[in-house]
A = this chain, B = another copy of it.
Amino acid sequence: MLNTWKTTLARLPQNAFLIVLATLNFAFPVAGQNSGQAPDAAFIRKIYDQALRDSRCYPWLEDLCLNVGHRLSGSPGAEKAVQWSEAVLDTLGLDSVWLQPVMVPHWVRGAAEQVTASTGKKGENLQLNALALGGSVGTGGKAVRGEVVEITSWEALDALNERGIRGKIVFYNRPMDPTKLHTFEAYGGAVDQRAHGPSRAAKYGAVGVLVRSMGLRLDDFPHTGSLRYDSTYTLIPAAAISTLGAEQLSALLRNSTTPVTASMQLNCQTLPDVLSYNVIGEIRGTEFPDRVILVGGHLDSWDVGHGAHDDGAGCTQSMDVLRYFRQMNYSPRHTIRCVLFMNEENGLRGGHEYAREAERKGEFHVCAIESDAGGFTPRGFSFDGDEAVINPFFEKVSEFEELLEPYGLQLKRGGSGADIGPLKGQKGLLSGYRPDSQRYFDYHHTAADVFDAVNKRELELGAASMAALVYLLDKYGL
């Protein structure tokens, strides 16, 4: 069956229009009682054996975390991470390894933030652990001060309006919803405060913003992350405080008979853009070298902790996927490419540059898979893409599912990954690796996102899961 299909395909001219048509033709393995699945099941089992016996992702992650450290775009750490990952890919015997230049933003945190709140009465003050939000303006070497207004809904903010907000510091304190089973949904339901809160407060004349950290656990780690200024309004400084700090500040506001004033000094600034790189390695396809199956993560991280789960895990897993195939002497039909994107956290420049370059070269991405949800136990993959490609895929996907179910993997529709988003125009499949999400927001964008927070087997199982999907897509997908 496969041979027939390959022959048919070989006759198709490989131009852009037919590529889209061909994308519809997933030739899936024959299911169930048919013995056609047995070699696939055996090969996938071999991938997991290789991963659990002899992975490199975990020691690589240790090296990246402890010897490179965090690596915000434009920082010396990011430069070192580019060199480090290129050097590691160079050891894998791939067909090519290269750097793809891209200009990236260069925001620096500067000296540690100073954030306090006080009722003005003796003993009634709080020192708050804080991290400036990525992209925030600084406070010009001195503190910004204002009365604190706690806001838990946009309606409440709009109701207060200029009269209630001007000259004040807005404190966004709407928690992530703990009842969401998938914590990324809880994040999605709260992160608008961090992204849009500063400009929406500035619209009414606020002088600064404090945001409750995007985390479900009550602890004292502030979570940084990007804000998105709306240039219509004044750019005001904004910082995250920990969930514990947010609870304390809220209690201070609730219990105080006098107004609570906050003082915030942020020493961050945005410097001129810097030249950086996506780091790429590939095994060339024997039949369809211009048709790519991509596995990737993002090499940059925030400037606290080690960026272990976010996204050292995804990077080292993606690198190991290529290594597994090399170790197993597997010659893929399609090109299998590992892409370590630069600047996911505060710009997505690497993802955009990668997609532009792929377009320019006339490459088609059969599927791009991103691992950027932490190095936790695999639960499956979500798939996104044009209706013309994703509908036929899901009509037949149960054949894949039958092979992947023994490994706890489910295939569902859903978002994929930020870095691969710009590839959507190619009308190939996009996929997000989906590990268990319960612990992710204990670490995300914090000083707690360190190597020790990653479990070796969970990381390895993720890499194996990605390799198994790549194998099936390489064999049957198009």
Contacts and interface: CB of A to CB of B under 8 A. Distances in A.
Interface of A: 48-49, 52-53, 178-179, 181, 183, 216-217, 377, 379, 406-408, 436, 438-439, 442, 455-458, 461
Nearest to A455: B439
Given A52-B178, A181-B48, A379-B408, A455 B442 contact: yes
Contact of A178 (B178, B457, B458): B457
Given A439-B455, A457-B216, A406 B181 contact: yes
A407 B181 CA distance: 7
Given A438-B457, A442-B455, A455-B438, A53 B179 contact: yes
Contact of A377 (B377, B442, B455, B461): B377
Contact of A52 (B52, B179, B436, B457): B179
Contact of A438 (B48, B377, B406): B377
A176 to B, nearest CB: 11
A89 to B, nearest CB: 25
A179 B49 contact: yes
B377 A48 contact: no
28 contacts: A48-B179, A48-B181, A49-B179, A52-B178, A52-B179, A53-B178, A53-B179, A178-B457, A181-B406, A181-B407, A181-B408, A181-B461, A183-B457, A216-B457, A217-B456, A377-B377, A377-B436, A377-B438, A379-B408, A436-B436, A438-B455, A438-B457, A438-B458, A438-B461, A439-B455, A439-B457, A439-B458, A442-B455
A300 B183 CA distance: 33
A216 B49 CA distance: 14
A54 to B, nearest CB: 10
Instruction: Work out how many copies of this chain go into the complex.
Output: 2
A411 to B, nearest CB: 14
Contacts of A181: 48, 406-408, 461
Contacts of A406: 181
Contacts of A456: 217
Contacts of A48: 179, 181
Contacts of A439: 455, 457-458
Nearest to A456: B217
Given A53-B178, A377-B377, A379-B408, 7 more contacts: A48-B179, A49-B179, A52-B178, A52-B179, A181-B406, A377-B438, A438-B455
A183 B456 CA distance: 13
A379 B183 CA distance: 16
Contacts of A407: 181
Nearest to A51: B179
Q: Which of A377, A455, A458, A461 has the most CB of B within 10 A?
A: A377
Contacts of A49: 179
A309 to B, nearest CB: 14
A436 B178 CA distance: 20
A56 to B, nearest CB: 15
3 closest A-B pairs by beta carbon, nearest first, are: A52-B178, A52-B179, A438-B457
A21 to B, nearest CB: 35
A377 B457 CA distance: 15
Nearest to A55: B178
Nearest to A181: B407
Contacts of A53: 178-179
